[in-house]
Structure 1
Amino acid sequence: MKKIVLAGGTGFVGQYLEKKFREQGYQVVIISRKPHHVNWTDYAGMLNALEGAEMLINLAGKSVNCRYTEANKREIFDSRMKTTEALGAAILNCDNPPPLWINSSTSTIYRHAEDRPMTEASGEFGKGFSVEVGKAWEQALFSFYLPETRQVALRLSIVLGKGGGVMVPYENMVRFGLGGKQGNGNQLFSWIHIEDVYKIILYLRDNDQMSGIINTTSPTPVTNRELMKALRKAMNRKVGLPTTKWMLSIGGVIIRTEPELILKSRWILPARLEQDGFQFAYPTLDRALHNILHE
Protein backbone atom coordinates (compact mmCIF):
# COMPACT_ATOMS: atom_id res chain seq x y z
CA MET A 1 0.00 0.00 0.00
CA LYS A 2 1.24 3.51 -0.85
CA LYS A 3 2.09 5.50 2.26
CA ILE A 4 2.19 9.19 3.10
CA VAL A 5 3.12 10.84 6.37
CA LEU A 6 1.06 13.77 7.68
CA ALA A 7 2.95 15.62 10.39
CA GLY A 8 0.69 17.79 12.51
CA GLY A 9 -2.24 16.42 10.54
CA THR A 10 -4.94 16.97 13.17
CA GLY A 11 -6.18 20.43 12.17
CA PHE A 12 -8.67 21.59 9.58
CA VAL A 13 -6.37 21.14 6.57
CA GLY A 14 -4.78 17.96 7.89
CA GLN A 15 -8.09 16.21 8.46
CA TYR A 16 -9.21 17.08 4.93
CA LEU A 17 -5.98 15.75 3.42
CA GLU A 18 -6.16 12.58 5.50
CA LYS A 19 -9.67 11.86 4.21
CA LYS A 20 -8.75 12.56 0.58
CA PHE A 21 -5.61 10.43 0.61
CA ARG A 22 -7.34 7.52 2.34
CA GLU A 23 -9.99 7.66 -0.40
CA GLN A 24 -7.13 7.37 -2.90
CA GLY A 25 -5.99 4.13 -1.25
CA TYR A 26 -3.08 5.54 0.73
CA GLN A 27 -1.95 4.42 4.15
CA VAL A 28 -1.82 7.71 6.08
CA VAL A 29 0.50 7.87 9.08
CA ILE A 30 0.01 10.90 11.32
CA ILE A 31 2.65 12.40 13.61
CA SER A 32 1.13 14.49 16.39
CA ARG A 33 0.80 14.76 20.17
CA LYS A 34 -2.41 12.71 20.19
CA PRO A 35 -2.11 9.28 21.82
CA HIS A 36 -3.20 7.17 18.83
CA HIS A 37 -0.66 8.79 16.47
CA VAL A 38 3.13 8.58 16.19
CA ASN A 39 4.38 10.95 18.89
CA TRP A 40 6.93 13.68 18.26
CA THR A 41 9.07 12.20 21.05
CA ASP A 42 9.09 8.76 19.38
CA TYR A 43 12.12 9.05 17.09
CA ALA A 44 12.06 5.37 16.12
CA GLY A 45 8.36 5.66 15.28
CA MET A 46 8.99 8.72 13.09
CA LEU A 47 11.84 6.96 11.31
CA ASN A 48 9.65 3.91 10.66
CA ALA A 49 6.81 6.12 9.40
CA LEU A 50 9.06 7.99 6.94
CA GLU A 51 10.84 4.86 5.69
CA GLY A 52 9.47 4.07 2.24
CA ALA A 53 6.81 6.82 2.32
CA GLU A 54 5.80 8.41 -0.98
CA MET A 55 5.78 11.85 0.58
CA LEU A 56 5.88 13.79 3.83
CA ILE A 57 3.48 16.70 4.36
CA ASN A 58 4.30 18.79 7.43
CA LEU A 59 1.53 21.07 8.72
CA ALA A 60 2.68 21.19 12.36
CA GLY A 61 2.53 24.46 14.26
CA LYS A 62 0.47 26.28 16.88
CA SER A 63 -2.35 28.35 15.38
CA VAL A 64 -1.55 32.05 14.91
CA ASN A 65 -5.18 32.85 15.78
CA CYS A 66 -4.26 34.06 19.26
CA ARG A 67 -2.89 37.11 21.07
CA TYR A 68 0.82 37.58 20.48
CA THR A 69 1.89 37.29 24.11
CA GLU A 70 5.50 36.34 24.75
CA ALA A 71 4.42 32.81 25.74
CA ASN A 72 2.28 32.37 22.61
CA LYS A 73 4.99 33.79 20.35
CA ARG A 74 7.52 31.33 21.75
CA GLU A 75 5.10 28.42 21.22
CA ILE A 76 4.25 29.55 17.67
CA PHE A 77 7.96 29.74 16.84
CA ASP A 78 9.11 26.56 18.58
CA SER A 79 6.22 24.42 17.32
CA ARG A 80 7.34 25.11 13.75
CA MET A 81 11.11 25.03 14.10
CA LYS A 82 11.43 21.98 16.34
CA THR A 83 9.06 19.80 14.30
CA THR A 84 10.69 20.75 10.99
CA GLU A 85 14.15 20.07 12.41
CA ALA A 86 13.03 16.71 13.85
CA LEU A 87 11.62 15.61 10.50
CA GLY A 88 14.72 16.64 8.59
CA ALA A 89 16.96 14.76 11.03
CA ALA A 90 14.79 11.65 10.65
CA ILE A 91 14.87 11.81 6.84
CA LEU A 92 18.67 11.97 6.94
CA ASN A 93 18.66 8.59 8.68
CA CYS A 94 16.20 6.84 6.35
CA ASP A 95 17.42 4.05 4.07
CA ASN A 96 14.51 4.80 1.71
CA PRO A 97 13.60 8.44 2.38
CA PRO A 98 10.42 10.00 0.97
CA PRO A 99 11.17 11.50 -2.47
CA LEU A 100 9.04 14.56 -1.63
CA TRP A 101 8.89 16.69 1.53
CA ILE A 102 6.18 19.37 1.47
CA ASN A 103 6.47 21.76 4.39
CA SER A 104 3.87 24.34 5.27
CA SER A 105 4.91 28.00 5.26
CA THR A 106 2.95 31.23 5.24
CA SER A 107 2.05 33.86 2.67
CA THR A 108 2.10 36.43 5.44
CA ILE A 109 5.88 36.41 4.96
CA TYR A 110 5.26 39.12 2.33
CA ARG A 111 4.81 42.78 3.23
CA HIS A 112 1.51 44.65 3.47
CA ALA A 113 0.78 45.25 -0.23
CA GLU A 114 -1.83 47.50 -1.78
CA ASP A 115 0.42 48.76 -4.59
CA ARG A 116 1.31 45.55 -6.44
CA PRO A 117 1.04 41.76 -6.12
CA MET A 118 3.72 39.57 -4.55
CA THR A 119 5.04 36.58 -6.52
CA GLU A 120 7.74 34.07 -5.66
CA ALA A 121 10.24 35.99 -7.84
CA SER A 122 9.26 39.59 -7.08
CA GLY A 123 7.73 39.43 -3.61
CA GLU A 124 9.19 41.53 -0.80
CA PHE A 125 9.36 40.36 2.80
CA GLY A 126 7.56 42.38 5.41
CA LYS A 127 8.51 43.13 9.01
CA GLY A 128 7.26 41.88 12.35
CA PHE A 129 6.85 38.68 14.29
CA SER A 130 4.81 36.65 11.77
CA VAL A 131 7.28 37.49 8.99
CA GLU A 132 10.25 36.38 11.11
CA VAL A 133 8.46 33.11 11.88
CA GLY A 134 7.91 32.45 8.17
CA LYS A 135 11.53 33.19 7.29
CA ALA A 136 12.90 30.97 10.06
CA TRP A 137 10.46 28.18 9.16
CA GLU A 138 11.62 28.08 5.55
CA GLN A 139 15.26 28.32 6.61
CA ALA A 140 14.76 25.28 8.86
CA LEU A 141 13.40 23.30 5.89
CA PHE A 142 16.04 24.27 3.35
CA SER A 143 18.95 23.97 5.79
CA PHE A 144 18.81 20.21 5.19
CA TYR A 145 20.73 18.85 2.23
CA LEU A 146 18.67 15.86 1.10
CA PRO A 147 19.80 14.66 -2.35
CA GLU A 148 17.06 12.01 -2.56
CA THR A 149 14.23 14.21 -1.24
CA ARG A 150 12.71 17.15 -3.11
CA GLN A 151 11.81 19.97 -0.71
CA VAL A 152 8.86 22.32 -1.21
CA ALA A 153 7.65 25.17 1.02
CA LEU A 154 3.96 25.98 0.55
CA ARG A 155 3.41 29.65 1.26
CA LEU A 156 -0.20 29.09 2.22
CA SER A 157 -2.74 31.88 2.03
CA ILE A 158 -5.99 31.76 4.03
CA VAL A 159 -7.66 28.40 3.42
CA LEU A 160 -11.42 28.30 2.83
CA GLY A 161 -13.49 25.15 3.27
CA LYS A 162 -16.66 23.75 4.77
CA GLY A 163 -17.15 23.79 8.53
CA GLY A 164 -13.70 24.88 9.64
CA GLY A 165 -10.88 27.39 9.48
CA VAL A 166 -11.82 31.03 8.93
CA MET A 167 -15.20 30.26 7.37
CA VAL A 168 -16.81 29.72 10.78
CA PRO A 169 -16.08 33.21 12.20
CA TYR A 170 -16.78 34.90 8.85
CA GLU A 171 -20.14 33.14 8.54
CA ASN A 172 -21.00 34.12 12.10
CA MET A 173 -20.15 37.78 11.44
CA VAL A 174 -22.43 37.88 8.40
CA ARG A 175 -25.18 35.93 10.15
CA PHE A 176 -25.25 38.39 13.07
CA GLY A 177 -25.22 41.52 10.92
CA LEU A 178 -21.50 42.37 11.04
CA GLY A 179 -20.79 41.47 7.43
CA GLY A 180 -19.61 44.89 6.29
CA LYS A 181 -16.07 45.95 5.43
CA GLN A 182 -13.38 45.68 8.09
CA GLY A 183 -11.07 48.64 8.53
CA ASN A 184 -11.05 50.69 5.33
CA GLY A 185 -11.94 47.58 3.29
CA ASN A 186 -9.14 48.14 0.78
CA GLN A 187 -6.77 45.49 2.15
CA LEU A 188 -6.31 42.54 -0.20
CA PHE A 189 -7.48 39.10 0.84
CA SER A 190 -5.54 36.22 -0.71
CA TRP A 191 -7.29 32.90 -0.21
CA ILE A 192 -7.42 29.33 -1.50
CA HIS A 193 -10.10 26.63 -1.49
CA ILE A 194 -9.04 23.60 0.54
CA GLU A 195 -9.66 21.29 -2.44
CA ASP A 196 -7.06 23.25 -4.40
CA VAL A 197 -4.54 22.75 -1.60
CA TYR A 198 -5.04 19.01 -2.08
CA LYS A 199 -4.83 19.32 -5.87
CA ILE A 200 -1.60 21.33 -5.62
CA ILE A 201 -0.05 18.61 -3.44
CA LEU A 202 -0.97 16.00 -6.06
CA TYR A 203 0.46 18.25 -8.77
CA LEU A 204 3.73 18.60 -6.87
CA ARG A 205 3.86 14.84 -6.41
CA ASP A 206 3.51 14.27 -10.15
CA ASN A 207 5.78 17.08 -11.40
CA ASP A 208 9.28 16.61 -10.10
CA GLN A 209 10.58 19.82 -11.69
CA MET A 210 8.68 21.74 -8.98
CA SER A 211 10.67 22.44 -5.82
CA GLY A 212 11.48 25.36 -3.54
CA ILE A 213 8.95 28.11 -2.79
CA ILE A 214 5.35 27.79 -4.03
CA ASN A 215 2.74 30.50 -3.43
CA THR A 216 -0.32 28.46 -2.51
CA THR A 217 -3.14 30.86 -3.23
CA SER A 218 -5.92 31.38 -5.76
CA PRO A 219 -5.17 33.51 -8.84
CA THR A 220 -7.93 36.03 -7.95
CA PRO A 221 -7.42 37.80 -4.62
CA VAL A 222 -10.12 40.27 -3.62
CA THR A 223 -10.35 43.31 -1.38
CA ASN A 224 -11.84 42.93 2.07
CA ARG A 225 -14.82 44.96 0.86
CA GLU A 226 -15.34 42.52 -2.04
CA LEU A 227 -14.91 39.54 0.29
CA MET A 228 -17.60 40.69 2.68
CA LYS A 229 -19.96 41.60 -0.18
CA ALA A 230 -19.48 38.12 -1.70
CA LEU A 231 -20.15 36.48 1.68
CA ARG A 232 -23.34 38.53 2.19
CA LYS A 233 -24.53 37.59 -1.31
CA ALA A 234 -23.75 33.91 -0.82
CA MET A 235 -25.55 33.90 2.54
CA ASN A 236 -28.47 36.04 1.28
CA ARG A 237 -27.83 38.91 3.71
CA LYS A 238 -28.46 42.33 2.22
CA VAL A 239 -26.94 44.46 5.00
CA GLY A 240 -23.76 44.15 7.02
CA LEU A 241 -22.42 46.70 9.50
CA PRO A 242 -18.80 47.76 8.93
CA THR A 243 -16.15 47.22 11.61
CA THR A 244 -13.67 50.05 12.17
CA LYS A 245 -10.01 49.57 13.01
CA TRP A 246 -10.51 50.61 16.64
CA MET A 247 -13.43 48.20 16.99
CA LEU A 248 -11.24 45.38 15.64
CA SER A 249 -8.52 46.26 18.15
CA ILE A 250 -10.99 46.03 21.03
CA GLY A 251 -12.61 42.91 19.59
CA GLY A 252 -9.21 41.27 19.18
CA VAL A 253 -8.59 41.61 22.91
CA ILE A 254 -12.00 40.14 23.70
CA ILE A 255 -11.73 37.12 21.38
CA ARG A 256 -7.98 36.78 21.98
CA THR A 257 -6.64 37.25 18.46
CA GLU A 258 -4.61 39.83 16.53
CA PRO A 259 -6.23 42.51 14.28
CA GLU A 260 -3.31 41.95 11.84
CA LEU A 261 -5.03 38.76 10.69
CA ILE A 262 -7.80 40.92 9.18
CA LEU A 263 -6.12 44.26 8.49
CA LYS A 264 -2.90 43.19 6.73
CA SER A 265 -3.17 43.48 2.95
CA ARG A 266 -2.12 40.15 1.42
CA TRP A 267 -1.84 40.57 -2.36
CA ILE A 268 -0.23 37.32 -3.45
CA LEU A 269 -0.29 35.51 -6.79
CA PRO A 270 0.57 31.85 -7.56
CA ALA A 271 2.94 32.74 -10.39
CA ARG A 272 4.91 29.48 -10.46
CA LEU A 273 1.82 27.28 -10.49
CA GLU A 274 0.17 29.32 -13.23
CA GLN A 275 3.33 29.42 -15.35
CA ASP A 276 3.61 25.64 -15.03
CA GLY A 277 0.02 25.14 -16.19
CA PHE A 278 -1.74 24.18 -12.94
CA GLN A 279 -5.55 24.40 -13.23
CA PHE A 280 -7.44 25.56 -10.14
CA ALA A 281 -10.73 23.85 -9.29
CA TYR A 282 -11.95 27.06 -7.59
CA PRO A 283 -10.16 30.04 -9.17
CA THR A 284 -12.78 32.64 -8.17
CA LEU A 285 -14.23 33.51 -4.79
CA ASP A 286 -17.86 33.30 -5.93
CA ARG A 287 -17.36 29.73 -7.13
CA ALA A 288 -15.52 28.78 -3.93
CA LEU A 289 -18.21 30.25 -1.66
CA HIS A 290 -20.98 28.57 -3.65
CA ASN A 291 -19.30 25.21 -3.15
CA ILE A 292 -18.62 25.77 0.55
CA LEU A 293 -22.04 27.16 1.47
CA HIS A 294 -24.43 25.47 -0.97
CA GLU A 295 -23.01 22.25 -2.44
Structure 2
Amino acid sequence: MKQNIIYSVVVPLYNEELVIEESYKRLKKVMDTTLEGYEIIFINDGSSDKTREKAERICSEDENIKLVNFSRNFGHQPAITAGMRVSAGKAVIVIDADLQDPPEIMLKMIEKWKEGYDVVYGKRAKREGESFFKKFTAGAFYRVLKSMTSIDIPVDAGDFRLIDRKVCHALNSLPEKNRYVRGLVSWIGYKQTYVEFVRHERFAGDTKYPLKKMFKLAFDGITSFSYKPLIISGYLGAVSFFAGIVLIIINFIKCISHGMDVVNFQFVISIDFIMFGIVLSCMGIIGQYIGRIFDESKGRPNYIIENIISRRGDEKKNESVN
Protein backbone atom coordinates (compact mmCIF):
# COMPACT_ATOMS: atom_id res chain seq x y z
CA MET A 1 0.00 0.00 0.00
CA LYS A 2 1.34 3.40 -0.96
CA GLN A 3 1.86 5.80 1.94
CA ASN A 4 -0.26 8.93 1.81
CA ILE A 5 1.95 11.95 1.12
CA ILE A 6 1.41 14.71 3.66
CA TYR A 7 4.51 16.84 3.00
CA SER A 8 6.29 17.73 -0.23
CA VAL A 9 9.73 19.29 0.24
CA VAL A 10 10.83 21.20 -2.88
CA VAL A 11 14.61 21.61 -3.24
CA PRO A 12 16.01 23.55 -6.25
CA LEU A 13 19.45 22.37 -7.35
CA TYR A 14 21.99 24.18 -9.50
CA ASN A 15 25.58 22.92 -9.38
CA GLU A 16 25.22 21.62 -5.82
CA GLU A 17 27.47 18.53 -6.09
CA LEU A 18 29.36 19.53 -2.94
CA VAL A 19 26.27 19.81 -0.75
CA ILE A 20 23.49 17.61 -2.15
CA GLU A 21 24.39 14.46 -0.17
CA GLU A 22 24.60 16.29 3.15
CA SER A 23 21.45 18.20 2.32
CA TYR A 24 19.61 14.94 1.58
CA LYS A 25 20.78 13.36 4.87
CA ARG A 26 19.56 16.29 6.98
CA LEU A 27 16.28 16.63 5.11
CA LYS A 28 15.57 12.91 5.44
CA LYS A 29 16.46 12.90 9.13
CA VAL A 30 14.08 15.77 9.81
CA MET A 31 11.21 14.43 7.74
CA ASP A 32 11.51 10.92 9.21
CA THR A 33 10.81 12.37 12.66
CA THR A 34 7.35 13.48 11.52
CA LEU A 35 6.27 9.82 11.22
CA GLU A 36 4.07 10.91 8.31
CA GLY A 37 4.28 10.38 4.56
CA TYR A 38 6.51 12.74 2.65
CA GLU A 39 8.37 13.26 -0.59
CA ILE A 40 11.50 15.27 -1.32
CA ILE A 41 11.45 16.78 -4.79
CA PHE A 42 14.85 17.71 -6.20
CA ILE A 43 14.64 20.13 -9.13
CA ASN A 44 17.84 19.87 -11.16
CA ASP A 45 17.97 23.28 -12.83
CA GLY A 46 20.33 22.36 -15.66
CA SER A 47 23.38 21.70 -13.46
CA SER A 48 26.69 21.33 -15.32
CA ASP A 49 28.55 19.46 -12.57
CA LYS A 50 27.81 16.07 -10.96
CA THR A 51 24.63 17.23 -9.24
CA ARG A 52 22.37 15.23 -11.57
CA GLU A 53 24.43 12.05 -11.21
CA LYS A 54 24.36 12.23 -7.41
CA ALA A 55 20.66 13.12 -7.33
CA GLU A 56 19.79 10.16 -9.55
CA ARG A 57 21.74 7.82 -7.27
CA ILE A 58 19.90 9.13 -4.22
CA CYS A 59 16.61 8.80 -6.09
CA SER A 60 17.32 5.17 -6.99
CA GLU A 61 17.94 4.31 -3.32
CA ASP A 62 15.01 6.14 -1.68
CA GLU A 63 11.42 5.92 -2.86
CA ASN A 64 10.62 9.17 -1.05
CA ILE A 65 12.77 11.09 -3.54
CA LYS A 66 11.51 12.51 -6.82
CA LEU A 67 13.94 14.07 -9.29
CA VAL A 68 12.84 16.59 -11.91
CA ASN A 69 15.47 17.38 -14.56
CA PHE A 70 15.16 20.59 -16.57
CA SER A 71 16.32 20.61 -20.19
CA ARG A 72 18.63 23.53 -19.31
CA ASN A 73 19.11 26.17 -16.63
CA PHE A 74 15.89 28.20 -16.29
CA GLY A 75 16.48 29.82 -12.89
CA HIS A 76 15.58 29.54 -9.23
CA GLN A 77 12.02 30.87 -9.39
CA PRO A 78 10.99 28.56 -12.28
CA ALA A 79 12.53 25.65 -10.35
CA ILE A 80 10.39 26.44 -7.33
CA THR A 81 7.34 26.75 -9.58
CA ALA A 82 8.00 23.35 -11.18
CA GLY A 83 8.43 21.72 -7.78
CA MET A 84 5.09 23.06 -6.62
CA ARG A 85 3.34 21.84 -9.75
CA VAL A 86 4.59 18.25 -9.47
CA SER A 87 4.13 18.06 -5.70
CA ALA A 88 1.46 15.85 -4.15
CA GLY A 89 1.60 16.76 -0.45
CA LYS A 90 -1.05 18.51 1.60
CA ALA A 91 1.67 20.96 2.59
CA VAL A 92 4.58 22.09 0.41
CA ILE A 93 7.87 23.26 1.91
CA VAL A 94 10.42 25.15 -0.22
CA ILE A 95 14.03 25.10 0.95
CA ASP A 96 17.39 25.60 -0.76
CA ALA A 97 19.98 22.82 -0.79
CA ASP A 98 22.86 24.92 0.55
CA LEU A 99 21.76 24.40 4.21
CA GLN A 100 21.81 28.11 4.98
CA ASP A 101 18.17 27.63 5.92
CA PRO A 102 18.28 24.89 8.62
CA PRO A 103 16.03 21.93 7.71
CA GLU A 104 15.18 21.53 11.40
CA ILE A 105 13.10 24.73 11.21
CA MET A 106 10.67 22.85 8.96
CA LEU A 107 9.34 21.07 12.06
CA LYS A 108 8.37 24.44 13.57
CA MET A 109 6.67 25.37 10.31
CA ILE A 110 4.71 22.12 10.40
CA GLU A 111 3.58 22.90 13.96
CA LYS A 112 2.26 26.29 12.84
CA TRP A 113 0.53 24.67 9.85
CA LYS A 114 -1.22 22.21 12.15
CA GLU A 115 -2.37 25.16 14.24
CA GLY A 116 -4.30 26.37 11.20
CA TYR A 117 -1.93 28.67 9.31
CA ASP A 118 -1.90 28.36 5.51
CA VAL A 119 1.51 29.98 4.97
CA VAL A 120 4.46 29.81 7.35
CA TYR A 121 7.57 31.63 6.15
CA GLY A 122 11.03 31.70 7.64
CA LYS A 123 12.15 35.10 8.91
CA ARG A 124 15.90 35.64 9.19
CA ALA A 125 16.78 36.98 12.64
CA LYS A 126 20.49 36.88 11.78
CA ARG A 127 22.54 36.15 8.66
CA GLU A 128 25.87 34.40 9.24
CA GLY A 129 28.77 34.14 6.81
CA GLU A 130 27.64 36.98 4.55
CA SER A 131 29.45 40.21 3.73
CA PHE A 132 28.30 43.59 4.99
CA PHE A 133 27.48 44.57 1.40
CA LYS A 134 25.22 41.51 0.92
CA LYS A 135 23.41 42.10 4.21
CA PHE A 136 22.99 45.82 3.53
CA THR A 137 21.71 45.45 -0.04
CA ALA A 138 19.35 42.61 0.91
CA GLY A 139 17.92 44.57 3.83
CA ALA A 140 17.56 47.71 1.73
CA PHE A 141 15.80 45.83 -1.08
CA TYR A 142 13.20 44.24 1.20
CA ARG A 143 12.37 47.59 2.77
CA VAL A 144 12.24 49.49 -0.52
CA LEU A 145 9.96 46.83 -2.00
CA LYS A 146 7.67 46.93 1.05
CA SER A 147 7.41 50.73 0.83
CA MET A 148 6.61 50.62 -2.89
CA THR A 149 3.85 48.02 -2.89
CA SER A 150 0.36 47.84 -1.44
CA ILE A 151 0.96 44.13 -0.72
CA ASP A 152 2.36 43.22 2.69
CA ILE A 153 5.51 41.42 1.57
CA PRO A 154 7.44 40.47 4.74
CA VAL A 155 10.97 41.79 5.15
CA ASP A 156 13.98 39.54 5.81
CA ALA A 157 12.18 36.52 4.39
CA GLY A 158 13.24 34.51 1.36
CA ASP A 159 11.58 31.56 -0.37
CA PHE A 160 12.04 29.24 2.62
CA ARG A 161 8.44 28.60 3.64
CA LEU A 162 5.59 26.14 4.02
CA ILE A 163 2.38 26.61 2.06
CA ASP A 164 -0.90 24.72 2.27
CA ARG A 165 -2.17 22.76 -0.73
CA LYS A 166 -4.89 25.33 -1.50
CA VAL A 167 -2.25 28.07 -1.60
CA CYS A 168 -0.16 25.90 -3.91
CA HIS A 169 -3.15 25.44 -6.23
CA ALA A 170 -3.68 29.21 -6.30
CA LEU A 171 -0.01 29.83 -7.13
CA ASN A 172 -0.08 27.22 -9.89
CA SER A 173 -3.06 28.96 -11.49
CA LEU A 174 -1.18 32.25 -11.94
CA PRO A 175 0.07 32.53 -15.56
CA GLU A 176 2.75 35.22 -15.34
CA LYS A 177 6.27 34.48 -16.56
CA ASN A 178 8.60 36.70 -14.50
CA ARG A 179 7.63 35.13 -11.21
CA TYR A 180 8.59 36.52 -7.82
CA VAL A 181 7.25 33.64 -5.75
CA ARG A 182 7.54 35.15 -2.29
CA GLY A 183 5.63 38.21 -3.50
CA LEU A 184 2.96 36.07 -5.17
CA VAL A 185 2.44 34.15 -1.93
CA SER A 186 1.80 37.43 -0.11
CA TRP A 187 -0.50 38.65 -2.90
CA ILE A 188 -2.64 35.48 -2.69
CA GLY A 189 -3.35 36.07 0.98
CA TYR A 190 -4.71 33.41 3.37
CA LYS A 191 -3.69 33.07 7.01
CA GLN A 192 0.05 33.66 7.30
CA THR A 193 2.64 33.69 10.07
CA TYR A 194 6.40 33.22 10.46
CA VAL A 195 9.08 31.45 12.47
CA GLU A 196 12.40 33.14 13.15
CA PHE A 197 15.74 31.44 12.60
CA VAL A 198 19.44 32.16 12.21
CA ARG A 199 20.57 31.79 8.62
CA HIS A 200 23.86 29.90 8.51
CA GLU A 201 26.85 30.13 6.22
CA ARG A 202 26.73 27.92 3.13
CA PHE A 203 27.72 24.31 3.89
CA ALA A 204 29.87 24.21 0.73
CA GLY A 205 30.14 25.69 -2.74
CA ASP A 206 29.43 29.19 -4.01
CA THR A 207 26.30 31.29 -3.83
CA LYS A 208 23.87 30.82 -6.71
CA TYR A 209 22.67 34.40 -6.35
CA PRO A 210 25.57 36.66 -7.42
CA LEU A 211 25.02 40.40 -7.77
CA LYS A 212 23.64 40.11 -11.31
CA LYS A 213 20.95 37.60 -10.31
CA MET A 214 20.14 39.61 -7.19
CA PHE A 215 19.44 42.66 -9.36
CA LYS A 216 17.27 40.51 -11.65
CA LEU A 217 15.29 39.24 -8.68
CA ALA A 218 14.95 42.77 -7.33
CA PHE A 219 13.62 44.07 -10.66
CA ASP A 220 11.17 41.15 -10.86
CA GLY A 221 9.91 41.89 -7.37
CA ILE A 222 9.50 45.64 -7.86
CA THR A 223 8.03 45.58 -11.37
CA SER A 224 5.69 42.69 -10.54
CA PHE A 225 4.07 44.40 -7.59
CA SER A 226 4.53 48.15 -7.99
CA TYR A 227 3.84 50.90 -10.51
CA LYS A 228 5.60 53.49 -8.37
CA PRO A 229 8.80 53.47 -10.47
CA LEU A 230 6.70 54.72 -13.40
CA ILE A 231 5.18 57.41 -11.21
CA ILE A 232 8.60 58.35 -9.88
CA SER A 233 9.93 58.68 -13.42
CA GLY A 234 7.13 61.15 -14.14
CA TYR A 235 8.03 63.15 -11.05
CA LEU A 236 11.69 63.13 -12.07
CA GLY A 237 10.72 64.53 -15.44
CA ALA A 238 8.69 67.32 -13.81
CA VAL A 239 11.46 68.12 -11.34
CA SER A 240 14.08 68.23 -14.09
CA PHE A 241 11.87 70.55 -16.15
CA PHE A 242 11.41 73.04 -13.31
CA ALA A 243 15.07 72.72 -12.31
CA GLY A 244 16.01 73.64 -15.87
CA ILE A 245 13.73 76.69 -15.75
CA VAL A 246 15.21 77.82 -12.43
CA LEU A 247 18.78 77.36 -13.70
CA ILE A 248 17.98 79.38 -16.81
CA ILE A 249 16.58 82.22 -14.69
CA ILE A 250 19.57 82.16 -12.32
CA ASN A 251 22.01 82.13 -15.20
CA PHE A 252 20.12 84.97 -16.91
CA ILE A 253 20.25 87.15 -13.77
CA LYS A 254 23.94 86.34 -13.23
CA CYS A 255 24.86 87.13 -16.79
CA ILE A 256 22.93 90.43 -16.81
CA SER A 257 24.53 91.57 -13.54
CA HIS A 258 28.05 90.73 -14.75
CA GLY A 259 27.62 91.68 -18.35
CA MET A 260 28.16 88.14 -19.60
CA ASP A 261 26.54 86.16 -22.39
CA VAL A 262 23.35 84.45 -21.21
CA VAL A 263 24.09 81.29 -23.11
CA ASN A 264 27.52 79.87 -22.30
CA PHE A 265 29.20 76.52 -22.64
CA GLN A 266 29.07 75.60 -18.96
CA PHE A 267 25.37 76.36 -18.77
CA VAL A 268 24.51 74.24 -21.81
CA ILE A 269 26.58 71.27 -20.64
CA SER A 270 25.06 71.30 -17.13
CA ILE A 271 21.52 71.36 -18.53
CA ASP A 272 22.30 68.58 -20.98
CA PHE A 273 23.72 66.34 -18.27
CA ILE A 274 20.69 66.84 -16.03
CA MET A 275 18.10 66.36 -18.74
CA PHE A 276 19.70 63.43 -20.56
CA GLY A 277 20.48 61.63 -17.29
CA ILE A 278 16.88 61.83 -16.10
CA VAL A 279 15.42 60.98 -19.52
CA LEU A 280 17.62 57.91 -19.87
CA SER A 281 16.81 56.79 -16.31
CA CYS A 282 13.08 57.09 -17.01
CA MET A 283 13.46 55.19 -20.28
CA GLY A 284 15.27 52.42 -18.44
CA ILE A 285 12.47 52.09 -15.89
CA ILE A 286 9.79 52.07 -18.59
CA GLY A 287 11.88 49.57 -20.57
CA GLN A 288 11.75 47.12 -17.65
CA TYR A 289 7.96 47.10 -17.80
CA ILE A 290 7.85 46.88 -21.60
CA GLY A 291 10.30 43.96 -21.50
CA ARG A 292 8.03 42.08 -19.14
CA ILE A 293 5.03 42.75 -21.35
CA PHE A 294 7.04 41.32 -24.24
CA ASP A 295 7.89 38.19 -22.22
CA GLU A 296 4.23 37.66 -21.34
CA SER A 297 3.11 38.14 -24.95
CA LYS A 298 5.40 35.36 -26.23
CA GLY A 299 3.53 32.78 -24.18
CA ARG A 300 6.57 30.55 -23.67
CA PRO A 301 6.63 28.19 -20.67
CA ASN A 302 8.67 29.12 -17.62
CA TYR A 303 10.63 25.90 -17.95
CA ILE A 304 10.86 22.62 -19.88
CA ILE A 305 11.14 19.31 -18.01
CA GLU A 306 13.41 16.76 -19.64
CA ASN A 307 12.24 13.93 -17.38
CA ILE A 308 10.89 13.01 -13.96
CA ILE A 309 12.47 10.10 -12.08
CA SER A 310 10.96 8.37 -9.07
CA ARG A 311 10.78 4.88 -7.56
CA ARG A 312 7.16 5.32 -6.54
CA GLY A 313 4.71 3.17 -8.45
CA ASP A 314 2.56 6.14 -9.41
CA GLU A 315 5.37 7.80 -11.35
CA LYS A 316 6.56 7.03 -14.86
CA LYS A 317 10.31 7.03 -15.19
CA ASN A 318 11.91 9.36 -17.70
CA GLU A 319 8.64 11.00 -18.60
CA SER A 320 9.17 13.97 -20.91
CA VAL A 321 7.08 17.04 -20.15
CA ASN A 322 6.97 20.31 -22.09
RCO comparison, higher one (Cα < 8 Å, 6+): 2
TM-score (ref. length: structure 1) = 0.27
